[in-house]
């Protein structure tokens, strides 16, 4: 199953750049880019940091693709 995420949608809605998000989460901009493109699934720790930063639940950001 593939993981679908709304990171880009949420980030752009809030007017946050990839660079700013990366700095806050202590990862590279390339990591944020890869997550947004679905090429990389973040660790549980990074997913929790994102959820906390956006004031959302993990389930509001990430979900499993339905068949």
What is the per-residue pLDDT across 1-33, written as a single tens digit (0 to 9) for each? 899 999 999 999 999 999 999 999 999 999 999
Q: What is the reported pTM?
A: 0.91
Q: Cβ-count burial of 35 within 10 angstroms (0-12 exposed, 13-18 middle, 19+ buried)?
A: buried
Percent of the chain scored above 70 by pLDDT? 100
Residue 67 has pLDDT above 80, yes or no: no
Residue 58 belongs to a domain with what CATH number?
A: 1.10.260.40
Total of domains in the chain: 1
Domain span at residue 15 reads 3-64
């Amino acid at each position: 199953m593939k993981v679908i995420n709304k990171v880009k949608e949420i980030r752009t809605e809030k007017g946050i750049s990839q660079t700013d998000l990366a700095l806050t989460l202590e990862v590279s901009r390339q990591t944020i880019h890869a997550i947004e493109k679905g090429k990389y699934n973040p660790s549980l720790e990074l997913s929790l940091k994102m959820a906390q930063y956006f004031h959302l639940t993990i389930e509001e950001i990430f979900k499993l693709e339905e068949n």
